[in-house]
Structure 1
Amino acid sequence: MSLYRTELRRLAKRRFTRWMTLLGLLVLATVVVGTFLSNQKIDDAAMAKAERAAEQQWQRDVRSTEQFRAECERVKAAGTAEPGQFPADCSEITPPPREAVEAQWFLPSTFDFRENFGVTLLTLAAILALVGYVVGASFVGAEWSTGGMMNLLLWRPKRLTVLLTKLAALLTGVLALAVTTTALWFGSFWLIAVLRGSTARMTSGAWQSFALTGLRGVALVLVGATLGFALASLGRHTAMALGGAIAVMVVGQFAVAVLLDLAGVKFFQAWLLPTYIAAWMEKKVTLENWEACQAVYFGECKPETLDITWQQSSVLLAVSLVVILGGALWAMRRRDVS
């Protein structure tokens, strides 16, 4: 019997795998439903309503300005004005022009596929990566904690072959889940855009960009599953991977962020893992340092910036993958199985 097919069936039949997958899919379904309900298509009626709201707001602003100017004139005439309370000349208080209040400010939320879909791919990748990480850790961690790994090695004594076959089965299952879910994600949000938003300006370049982002998301899911698998194998228990994730994301990231911020370190976000995950998915994340504001000749304040690119993120992910998975393989080969 093929070890690969056996491990693939074992992965699919595990209750934890099914429940964790179902939980992840329910969270994603909630995001889709919430997006659908919180957006609506902009039609002529909605535009007319927004125009009326803009007109009413402008009229309120005009009345408020006139009241403020009348108060200024009254206080100036009485000589009771406090320093800085009003301008030197009350005629400087003028109502805003009508075009200053735009109707688009009063339009309801609508889902523009080209503008809004890219952000949702980060949510999709993050949730699926979490599912892959936990499922991968549990898949091999349970084998170590229950003694199943020792029994399996009696049947197949080649340690690295057994471990890598388990990993291949895990990645096959996770890849199938990620690809299927990503396809459904594209279809769901395209339907939302058709019914509750707009699909305008969707060129071939835009589709290509979204497709590449989706592929990077699938790669992130596979990396997450591999890291969870490797950490659990390295510690020979699921708790090793889960505890490591909690330590890195909650204790490490939060503590590092607070300490670096208090120390006044520029671009402290560059030391945080979520920054690189976002850069991997969005191709680039620009960090800003407003404390080093650079004034230009017309008085505008431009902060100092630092770009984190997807290439830098790929190096970090690759190094983490090589070190942790390599450590797990080395430990599997060198340590006693007992």
Structure 2
Amino acid sequence: MSLARAESRRLLKRRFTKFLMLGVLLILGAVAAGTYFSNEKVTEAQVTEARAQAQRDYQQSLLSAQQDKEKCLAAQGTPEAVNWGPGCENLYTPSQEDFDYQWYMPESFEFVQEFPDMISVLAVVLAAAAFLIGASFVGAEWNSGAMMNLLLWRPQRLRVLGTKLLVFLGWFTGVTLLLGAVWAGVFRVIAEYRGTTDKLTSGAWQSLGLMGLRGLALVVAAGALGFALASLGRHTGMALGALIAIGAVQIGVYVMAGLSGLKYPEAYLAPLWGVAWLYKEFVLQDYTSCDFNTSSGCEQETFTLTWQVAGVGMTAVVVLIVGIAMWTMRSRDIT
């Protein structure tokens, strides 16, 4: 039997793999069911009523604003003028755009606008599962001594560890692609019966497909990190401990960056890099660059974290940690 086939059987027969994937399916099923039952198909009558309600509220707000302006003008030159500010012309006047009829309509699933968030949910859930399964796949064998026994049969260290990693990533890539296709079909059906598929053009499909591929890359990266960290520590707990430690360090760096007055302290948080990767960009704002107490107002300084920068950063981290895991596998004693 080939090494790759043996590793595939070992991966698929592990109870942890089966139970965790069952949990993933339950979570995804709950998300899909919740989306289905929390949305509804909007009828023409509901659209007409929403437009009418928006117009009524607009007229009522316009009348109220006019009455306030008249009271302000009447109060000029009297002690009551202090209650209306420096000038009546500065009072708020509502516009038609402030009363969008869509705000008066029931929740309805718009596929083009809302399915990207569902892609993110799928990617995050599968990335977490990939990290845990990858860590357990190699960590349990180190802890139980099965790795030492395997190396007696196949003494090529790097080949053994590399085959394990490639088999795991290959299977999880296939699972992700399969679940991604099913996920898109499920929400396409939800949009048909509990929402709308308007603006679902070939360009929209292409954009969603590219986002799905970026989600796949995130899943693969998480799986490789979990595998490499567990291999470095020769225990599943090493990967979990490293994840907790990295999270604690990031929070500490974020707090210290904020206290020291550095711009964009959120840039030190890894989850935001994942958001930028999935959604193509994430705009950070420097809230200290604007004095909100001034009457003139100002625009805050911004920094855009692009998916290219996030991708390069995540790739560098994954390549570094996997490379160290391979190097230690070659150089350390097997005990």
TM-score w.r.t. length of structure 1: 0.88
SS at structure 2 position matched to 1:41: coil
SS at structure 2 position matched to 1:209: helix
- Aligned-partner Cα distance in 1 for 2:36–2:20: 25
- Aligned-partner Cα distance in 2 for 1:96–1:322: 55
Number of equivalences: 332
- Shift of residue 272, structure 1, vs aligned partner: 1.6
SS at structure 2 position matched to 1:291: helix
Contact 1:294 1:303 in 2 (8 A): no
- Shift of residue 320, structure 1, vs aligned partner: 1.2
Question: Which of 290, 305, 309 is matched with 2:306 structurally?
Answer: 309
1:168 alignment partner in structure 2: 166
1:132 alignment partner in structure 2: 130
SS at structure 2 position matched to 1:202: coil
Deviation string, structure 1 residues 156-186 (Cα, Å, up to 9, x no partner):
1111111111112211221121111111111
Contact 1:53 1:103 in 2 (8 A): yes
Q: Which amino acid aligns with 1:309?
A: T
* Equivalent runs, 1:74-89 vs 2, <5 Å: 81=80, 83=82, 85-86=83-84
Residue 94 and residue 121 in structure 1: after superposition, are their counterparts in 2 closer, same or farther (change >3 A)?
closer
Deviation string, structure 1 residues 269-316 (Cα, Å, up to 9, x no partner):
222211211111112222122432499xxx673322212112212211
Residue 73 and residue 133 in structure 1: after superposition, are their counterparts in 2 closer, same or farther (change >3 A)?
same
Is residue 169 of structure 2 the alignment partner of residue 178 of structure 1? no
Residue 307 and residue 71 in structure 1: after superposition, are their counterparts in 2 closer, same or farther (change >3 A)?
closer
2:149 alignment partner in structure 1: 151
Task: Give the RMSD, CA atoms, in angstroms.
Answer: 2.7
- Aligned-partner Cα distance in 2 for 1:208–1:106: 32
Residue 92 and residue 162 in structure 1: after superposition, are their counterparts in 2 closer, same or farther (change >3 A)?
closer
2:200 alignment partner in structure 1: 202
- Aligned-partner Cα distance in 2 for 1:256–1:25: 35
- Shift of residue 333, structure 1, vs aligned partner: 0.9
Q: Which amino acid aligns with 2:265?
A: F
Residue 45 and residue 245 in structure 1: after superposition, are their counterparts in 2 closer, same or farther (change >3 A)?
same
Residue 208 and residue 96 in structure 1: after superposition, are their counterparts in 2 closer, same or farther (change >3 A)?
closer
Of the structure 1 ranges 239-248 and 96-105, higher mean CA displacement relative to structure 2 is found in 96-105
Contact 1:132 1:222 in 2 (8 A): yes
Is residue 318 of structure 2 the alignment partner of residue 291 of structure 1? no
- Shift of residue 103, structure 1, vs aligned partner: 2.2
- Aligned-partner Cα distance in 2 for 1:300–1:80: 29
TM-score w.r.t. length of structure 2: 0.89
Deviation string, structure 1 residues 195-243 (Cα, Å, up to 9, x no partner):
2222112222221111111111111111111110011001000000011
Q: Which runs of 5+ in 1 are unaligned?
A: none
Q: Which amino acid aligns with 2:19?
A: W
SS at structure 2 position matched to 1:287: strand
- Shift of residue 332, structure 1, vs aligned partner: 0.9
2:42 alignment partner in structure 1: 42
Q: Which runs of 5+ in 2 are unaligned?
A: none
Residue 57 and residue 19 in structure 1: after superposition, are their counterparts in 2 closer, same or farther (change >3 A)?
same
Residue 167 and residue 53 in structure 1: after superposition, are their counterparts in 2 closer, same or farther (change >3 A)?
same
Q: Which amino acid aligns with 2:116?
A: G
- Shift of residue 13, structure 1, vs aligned partner: 1.0
Q: Which amino acid aligns with 1:154?
A: L
Seq. identity, %: 43
